[in-house]
Amino acid sequence: KQEVTQIPAALSVPEGENLVLNCSFTDSAIYNLQWFRQDPGKGLTSLLLIQSSQREQTSGRLNASLDKSSGRSTLYIAASQPGDSATYLCAVRQGTDKLIFGTGTRLQVFP
């Protein structure tokens, strides 16, 4: 059974720092991995999707990498801003319709 874990569970940093959020999964047989952002009381916003054949994806200040063989993905946030404060979720899709979500990392960036 696929298990997805994220560390750290919470992170508080000053504005301007570069951050690394980690996601690990137990079964490397995945189709893709997706990173989401969740703001309090709101829905999930897709940030990046990495196909199983890809190593990384970039969007603006965000870069996500995937090492399928070791069951790991990282989300790198460059030059963090207070507006980046949110919970970040990773989710994997295997050979079925469903996404399996991680535990989340709650990020706070203070001015």
Partner 1 sequence: EPEVTQTPSHQVTQMGQEVILRCVPISNHLYFYWYRQILGQKVEFLVSFYNNEISEKSEIFDDQFSVERPDGSNFTLKIRSTKLEDSAMYFCASSGTTGWASGANVLTFGAGSRLTVL
Query: Binding residues for partner 1, per CB under 8 A?
Result: 31-32, 34, 36, 41-46, 49, 51-52, 89, 91, 93, 95-104
**Hey, what are 84's tokens?**
């980046």
Residue number, 64 or 80, with CB nearest to partner 1: 64
Report the nearest approach of partner 1 to the CB of residue 18 (Å). 26
CA angle at residue 42 from 36 to 46, to 5 degrees? Answer: 20
**Hey, what are 36's tokens?**
């989401």
Burial (CB count <10 Å: 0-12, 13-18, 19+), residue 90: buried
Order of all β-strands in the sheet with 4-7 = 4-7, 19-25, 72-77, 62-67, 56-59
Residue number, 6 or 80, with CB nearest to partner 1: 6
Residue number, 19 or 89, with CB nearest to partner 1: 89
Report the nearest approach of partner 1 to the CB of residue 57 (Å). 11
Residue number, 77 or 100, with CB nearest to partner 1: 100
Report the nearest approach of partner 1 to the CB of residue 14 (Å). 27
